[in-house]
Amino acid sequence: MRVLVVEDFPPLRDAVIQGLQEAGYAVDAADNGEDALRYARTGGHDVIVLDLMLPKLDGLSVLKSLRASQCPAHVLVLTAKDTPADRVRGLDLGADDYLVKPFVFAEFLARVRALVRRKYESKSAMLHVADLEIDPVKRQVHRAGQLIDLSGREYALLEYLAHNANRIVSRTDIWQHLYDFNATVESNVVDVFVGLLRKKIERPGLPRLLHTRRGQGYMLAEIGEDA
Amino acid sequence: VKLRSLRTRLLIGTTAITAGALIVLGLTIDVAVRHILLEEFDAAMLAKAKSLASMVEQHQKGITFEFSTDLMPEFSSPRDPEYFEIWVNGRTLACSTSLARADLAAAPSNDGMHCGWTVLPDGRNGRMISLNFKPYIDPDERSESEGAQVPCMIIVARDTLALDHTRSRLRWAAVILSAAAVSLSGIALLLLVHLSTRPIRGLTAQIAATNEQDLGARLDPRDLPSELIPVVDRLNDLLARLAAVIERERSFTADAAHELRTPLAGLRATPGVCRSRPRDVGGYEAVLDKSLEQLAALQSLVESLLMLARADAGQVVVSRENVDLSALLDECWEVFEPRAAKRQLSVQKQWPEVCHVTADRQFLLVVINNLLDNAVSHADAGGELRIETSERDHQVLLEISNSDSRLLARDIEHIFERFWRGDASRSQTGLHAGLGLGLCRKLLMLMGGTISAEKRDGIFSLLVMLRYSEASARHNQASQMLRSTSA
C-alpha cells in the first residue's frame, strides 16, 4: 500500500514517514500543497495524509483539486483545526477521514488501515483468500492455520494482492502501490518478490493461490489455471 | 431631580412655556379689557353728566335745573342707584334723590373734567366723574348777562358692580380656556413624542438583535430621522471595529491552536513511532534528541504566546531602566554567531563601546534575540547581515538588515501580524511561528520604542528606535557642547 504524507512540520512528517514505513507502507512525502498535488497526480497512492495549513497551496485547495481530477486515493485530513465547522468543510470537500492533532500514533495507523480497507471495499479487518488469512493489524499471515513468516515487502505485496483478490493485478500496479519514489526501478523486482512470496505461501497438497497471467500480471485466487 | 426621560422633559418644558405664555396673555387681555370697560363706563357717565349739565340754565333771576326722574329713573332707583350732584359757586344746586342728604365727596376742581374711583354713600366702590361747565343761557337773554356766566360743576357717580362682574366672568373664561389649551397641548405633545420616538424604539430593537456571533450585522439607517443618522453611523463604525477585533481574536486562537498542536503532534508521534518496536540504543538516543529539540521549540513558542497574551492583557510590569544596548548586542550576538557562520553570512557589526538606552532589560533581550534570530534564519544563504546603531531624531536607531530575495515588498505590511506566513521558507510550523516580530512590536511599544520594516534593493531592514537614557542624553549634550566649542 502506498501513502502520500503532506505535512510541513518536519519532525511530525519524519515521524509519520518512519512509522508508516515500518508498518510496511511505501511512503512519499511533500511539505507544501503544490508538491502534494504534483505527486498525487502521478497516481498510485492508496491513502493521502493531508495537513490543512500548508505553504504555497492550502490543504483544502489541494483536496478540491484532487477531487476535481478524480483522484482515487482516500484522504485522511490531519489538522490542528478542530471546530465542527472545519471538520464539516473538510469532509464536504471530499476528505474520507479527519484526525485532529495531536494524535496517538496507533490510532493514526488504524485509520490509515481502515481507509485502505474502504478503498478495496472490504469491511472486515481480516483478509481471507481461501484458507489464507491475513491480519493487517498484526501483519501476520496464516495458511491453513499455520503461521507464515514474511518480510515487510513480501507482506505488503501479499496484502495488496489480497485486497485485489480474484482480480488481475499488473506489474505496474504492484510497482506503483508498493514502492515509493525513492526506490530504484528494477524491471524484474516485482517478479522476484512474487517468486519469493509464492515459495512461502504455496504448500504441497493445498490448492495454488498465486497465479501468473502471462503478459497481464498476477492474481491471488482460489480457483484458476495458469495460462 | 434629574429628568432622564426626554418625553417628561419635553412635556414639562412645553407645558410650562405654554402656561407661562397663556398667563402673560391672560393678564394683558385682562388689563386691556379693564381699560376698555372703564373707558366705556366713563364715557357713559360723561354722556349722562353732559345731558344733566344741559339741563342747567342761567337766567337773570338765577340758575335753574329742570330735572324729572321719569327721564332718568336710574338716579332714584332704590336698588343699584346712580348719583349726581350739581355745584354752583361752592354750593349744591341740585342732587339726585338717591343721594339723600349725603354729598358726593369730591374736591371740586376748577377746570375741565376729572374721572376717578370713589366710595359711594352706601359704602360701595364706584366711579365718579366731575365736569366743570358753563350753564346754558337763552340767546334772548345773552346780551344782558354776557361775561357773567357762572361756573358750575356736575358730579356723576355709579357703582362698578356690573363692571366687576363682567371682568370676573371674563377672567374665569380665560382661566378655563387656558387650562384646556395646556392640557390639549400636553396630550398632543405626548402623541407627537410617541410618534417621533418610534424610530428610536426601532433602533433599540435593531441593537438588541445584534449579537457577537453575527459580526457582519450593521444597523440600518434607512427610515431614521436625520438626527439619529450620525449616531447610527458611529455605532456602525464601532461595530466594524469590534468585529475586526473579534475576528482577529478568533483567528489568533485558531492560529495559536494550530501552532501549538502541530509541534505537540510531532512530539507525540516521534516517541510513539519509536515505541512501536524494539530499537537499539542509538535509535532511542536519536528519538530523545529529536524530542528534546522539539520541546525546546515548543517551550519558546509557549513563552512567546504567554508573553503576548500578558502584554495584551496589560499584565506585564515594564521597568524603565538604564540598559547598555551595546553590551546586550555583544551578549546576544555570541549565541547567533555560529549559526551565521554556518549559513556563510557576511556580517557587518557596528555599535559603540557603550550606548545607554531606557528600556526594560528582559524585554529588550527578547526583542534583540528575536530580531537576530529572524535575520540569521531568513537571510539568503551566503548573503549579507548588517547590525548597526546610529542616532536619529535624538533617539537610538538600531538597524538590522539582511539580504532576503524571497520576501516581497508587499509583504512588509504583514510581517508584524501574528502568525503571518510568507513563502514556504518562512512558514516552518512550530519553529518560526510568525510570533517573533509581533512580540517585538508589542514589547517595544510598552517600552516607548518603535519598530518598522523596509525592503530596498533586495535588503530587508528592521528599524528599532529606542530612547536614550537620561545619563547618556546628558553625556551627548556635553560632547556636543565640547564639539561646538572646539569648532
Q: What is the value of ipTM here, to two decimals?
A: 0.72
Query: Do the beta carbons of residue A7 and residue A16 sit within 8 Å?
Result: yes
Look at residue B430 in the predicted model and tell me its pLDDT. 43
Query: Do the beta carbons of residue B131 and residue B154 sit within 8 Å?
Result: yes
Look at residue A6 in the predicted model and tell me its pLDDT. 93
Look at residue A112 in the predicted model and tell me its pLDDT. 93
Nearest to B276 among A22, A51, A53 (CB): A22
What digits encode the pLDDT tens for the residues B229-238?
898 899 899 9
Contact B272 A105 (CB under 8 A): yes
> Residue B272: closest CA among chain A residues belongs to which residue?
A105
Nearby residues of B310 by Cβ (< 8 Å), 6 or more positions away:
B316
Look at residue B425 in the predicted model and tell me its pLDDT. 40
Look at residue B1 in the predicted model and tell me its pLDDT. 60
d(CA B484, CA B477): 10
Nearest to A11 among B258, B259, B294 (CB): B294
Q: Spell out which residues of chain A touch residue B430, defining contact as CB-CB under 8 Å.
A: 9, 11
Q: What is the mean pLDDT of each run of 10 residues along chain A (227 residues)?
A: 89 92 88 89 87 83 89 88 81 88 91 88 78 85 88 86 87 78 65 87 85 86 61
> Residue A21: closest CA among chain B residues belongs to which residue?
B273
Q: Spell out which residues of chain B touch residue A80, defining contact as CB-CB under 8 Å.
A: 257-262, 265
Look at residue B429 in the predicted model and tell me its pLDDT. 46
Look at residue A208 in the predicted model and tell me its pLDDT. 86
Contact B273 A108 (CB under 8 A): no
Look at residue B259 in the predicted model and tell me its pLDDT. 78
d(CA A224, CA B214): 66
d(CA A104, CA B421): 28
| Count of alpha carbons within 13 angstroms of residue A201, beta-carbon side | 33
Tell me the three cell numbers of residue B172.
Answer: 374665569
Distance (Å) of CA A10 to CA A5, A175, B432, B445: 11, 27, 12, 34
Nearby residues of B98 by Cβ (< 8 Å), 6 or more positions away:
B75, B76, B77, B81, B82, B83
d(CA B244, CA B216): 10
Look at residue A186 in the predicted model and tell me its pLDDT. 61
Contact B268 A105 (CB under 8 A): yes
Cis amide linkage into residue A207, ω under 30° from 0: no
Nearest CA-CA distance, residue A214 and chain B, Å:
40
Q: Spell out which residues of chain B touch residue A108, defining contact as CB-CB under 8 Å.
A: 269
User: Strands A127-129 and A132-135: what pairing?
Assistant: antiparallel
Residues of chain B with pLDDT under 70: 1-3, 101, 105-111, 142-147, 420-433, 471-487
- Dump strand ranges (E) for B259-394: 321-324, 346-350, 356-359, 384-392
d(CA B427, CA A58): 12
Look at residue B293 in the predicted model and tell me its pLDDT. 86
Report the candidate in B140, B141, B118 with the shortest Cα–Cα distance to residue B129: B118
Long-range contacts of B422-426 (CB under 8 A, 24+ apart): B423/A55, B423/A56, B424/A8, B424/A31, B424/A32, B424/A55, B424/A56, B425/B378, B426/B378
B357 phi and psi angles, rounded to 5 deg? -125, 160
Q: Which residues are paired to B159 by β-bridges?
A: B126
Which residue carries 371740586 as its cell?
B108
d(CA B472, CA B394): 11
Contact A102 B268 (CB under 8 A): yes
Query: Do the beta carbons of residue B182 and residue B19 sit within 8 Å?
Result: yes
Contact A22 B270 (CB under 8 A): no
Report the candidate in A66, A78, A80, A109 with the shortest Cα–Cα distance to residue A6: A78
DSSP per-residue letters across B161-208:
HHHHHHHHHHHHHHHHHHHHHHHHHHHHHHHHHHHHTHHHHHHHHHHH
| Count of alpha carbons within 13 angstroms of residue B356, beta-carbon side | 11
Tell me the three cell numbers of residue B375.
Answer: 535575520
Nearest to B269 among A8, A12, A51 (CB): A12
Assess B263–A contact: CB distance below 8 Å, yes or no.
Answer: yes
Q: Spell out which residues of chain B touch residue A51, defining contact as CB-CB under 8 Å.
A: 262
